[in-house]
Structure 1
Amino acid sequence: MPSRIEPLTERLLLRQWRAGDYEPFARLNGDPVAMEYFPWLLDRDKSDALAEKLRGRIEEQGWGFWAVEVRGVAPFIGFVGLNRPNPPVPISPCVEIGWRLLPEYWGQGFATEAARAALRVGFEELHLDEIVSYTATINQRSQRVMQRIGMQYNGEQFDHPAVPEESPLREHVVYRLGRSTWETSQPAKEAST
């Protein structure tokens, strides 16, 4: 079994899922505001099944969509992390970065802070050449996070096969970030003497 990676930031811990995460995760997945850009809400059974799937992927490979806690403040605010889309999407094979947070934690920089930690894992520990992110074309909030973490949109789009054809959420934009671009954006490390 691979060693488990649990990124730590100034305010956040990205970690393996715990039983206590399932109730607030179900609240998140059933919240029409949080799920505005998803084609459907998830009931408790489907939400729990998704949490189990995410937990299982971290157990298998050591990384994934981690549960996020605000250290000393909130034990669970949502998830952020890296994922190989399964079933695949039209841009597969790829590793995506994604996030979903409870609305009461929006606007505090948590998604951006956690996403930067996930990028660090992807490029420095997993040695990925590229990380992608995608969302419904009309989801401007997520696109702003993608831009803040240095991802770039070059006009690439696809119709998401899991979204009904008639849905305004079917068309997705793709943002990409290559390792070399990410490396040049990082502050220079102090030389040790």
Structure 2
Amino acid sequence: MRVFLETEQLVLRPFTDTVADAAHLFALDNDPDVMRFINGGRPASREAIRARALPRLLHDYPCFRTRGYWAAEEKATRTFLGWFEFRPLDGHGPAVVELGYRLNKAAWGKGYATEGSRALISKGFTDLGVERVTANTMAVNTRSRRVMEKAGLSFLREFTGDWPEAIAGSEHGEVEYELVRADWERRRQPAPGA
């Protein structure tokens, strides 16, 4: 299977239209803890995974010459952990991308989300022509906000999203974080005299 990106602990690969990937997504999207800040923890049907979720994850972005979502596997065991999103917000150009991640509970607290995010950001700025990375979450989602910060993004703003159906915590709004290429490059430069 083709590998998009490897890190010390992870392999990011394109999703496939297979029973195995559909089953992985079904299990992931049916864990109420994983989905708490997405839809309030409501389960997804197998049909919804096949008809809506999987096609979105299989979409190619011509401006990237690749996909915008990747299955994440533990490198040592090739165990499915979840997925990462790094897709252009404007399908015609790679200047601004959205970073996201959804990992199963067994993968939480092991640094996978930060490691995968940093690797995608680096690839975006060095190989894909990205100028700005943005990420959003509910204001109360402290774990995801911490990952964004550890990956190098900075708080940009609070805003109120248009939730079709309110879920616990949505009354506190959402937050956006960002990282621009110039800041990323500056942080990579050695300190003077170092």
> Could you state the TM-score of these two structures normalised by the residue count of structure 1?
0.82
Residues 163, 169 of structure 1: 8 Å contact kept: no
Q: Which structure 2 residues correspond to residues 1-193 of structure 1 after superposition, within 5 A?
A: 6-18=4-16, 19=18, 20-39=20-39, 40-48=42-50, 49-57=52-60, 61-85=65-89, 94-154=96-156, 156-164=157-165, 168-169=169-170, 171-186=173-188
Q: Secondary structure of 1:176's match?
A: strand
Q: Which has the higher strand share?
A: 2
Q: Deviations over 1:30-84 (max 9, x none)?
A: 1101111112432222123312221123688403111111123133110013124
Q: Secondary structure of 1:42's match?
A: coil
- Stretch of structure 1 that moved more, 179-188 or 32-41: 179-188
Q: Secondary structure of 2:60's match?
A: helix
Q: Give the length in aligned residue pairs.
A: 178
Residues 5, 62 of structure 1: 8 Å contact kept: no
Question: 1:5 Cα deviation (Å)?
Answer: 7.5
> Could you state the TM-score of these two structures normalised by the residue count of structure 2?
0.81
Residues 10, 72 of structure 2: 8 Å contact kept: yes
Identity %, equivalent residues = 28
Q: What value does the CA root-mean-square deviation take over the aligned residues?
A: 2.5
Question: CA 1:36/1:148 → structure 2, altered by over 3 Å: closer, same or farther?
Answer: same
Instruction: Give the Cα–Cα distance (whole angstroms) in 2 for the partners of residues 163 and 140 of structure 1.
Output: 22
Instruction: Give the Cα–Cα distance (whole angstroms) in 2 for the partners of residues 149 and 165 of structure 1.
Output: 29
Question: CA 1:162/1:46 → structure 2, altered by over 3 Å: closer, same or farther?
Answer: farther
